[in-house]
Amino acid sequence: MADVSVAEAATFLMGGPPVLAYLFGQVWKRNGTRLIGMGDRHPYPSTLRPCRDGWVHAHSNNRHPDLLAALVGDPWLASPQVLEAMTAHADEIDARLDAWLADKSKWEAVELAQELRLPFTEVLDPLEVLEDRHGHHLTRGTFVEVEHPVAGRVRQLGAPVKLSATPWQVGRAPLLGEHNEQVFCGELGLPREELVRLRQAGIV
């Protein structure tokens, strides 16, 4: 038996807010797209920002917050008054970051940031996820294709967890009533004539 609590699993996936409450007795406040929960000295940015063709998630390097200044080419971002109270300057940081992002694609911005070890990432829409520009999903088998007797070849999500000894067995969804004979006659012991009667009566 596996005893799993949905509420406990969801709490685990929430990440920082429960930990902040347990360890420090603080409540993480809502701040729109900003991750600002631990006071003015919390590294910033950690937020969604617009760029030329969409959005990026912009994140500071917690050990080297001054790297943002190098990325944007703005010494103010590495000044002591900013680094000592980054979230207090969030509006101004966002404005300067937005100006830098305005003429850049999400892909270009992320590549430049990651070259400096700034953990930026693209915000992808569903079609961009399926496009799999960098081949990550193909490598991991995130999406797989299966044959369906009605729909043809269909792409669907693959295994959420990779198990070496018991690998995922990919299959399609059954058709309506496809396994009626197997279940009613095979597992439940219903005579085949009775199954025919149930079909004719519109019961199954």
pLDDT single digits (tens) 36-71: 655 555 678 889 999 999 999 999 888 898 999 999
Q: What is the pLDDT of residue 40?
A: 59
Q: How far apart are CA 184 and CA 186, in angstroms?
A: 6
pLDDT (mean) for 108-134: 93
Q: What is the pLDDT of residue 138?
A: 80
Q: What is the pLDDT of residue 39?
A: 58
pLDDT (mean) for 125-141: 85
Residue 8 reports pLDDT greater than 60: yes
Residue 46 has phi, psi (to 5 degrees) of -145, 90
High-pLDDT (> 90) share of the chain, %: 50
Q: How far apart are CA 167 and CA 159, in angstroms?
A: 9
3-class state of residue 44 by DSSP: coil
Where do the structural domains in the chain lie, given as residue ranges?
A: 13-123, 125-160
Average model confidence (pLDDT) for the chain? 88
pLDDT, tens digit, for every residue of 63-107?
A: 898 999 999 999 999 999 999 888 889 999 999 999 999 999 999
| pTM as predicted | 0.70
pLDDT (mean) for 137-148: 86
Contact residues for 177 (Cβ-Cβ < 8 A; gap 6+): 204
**Span of 43-52, 148-157, 163-172 with lowest mean pLDDT:** 163-172
For domain 13-123, is the CATH number 3.30.1540.10?
yes
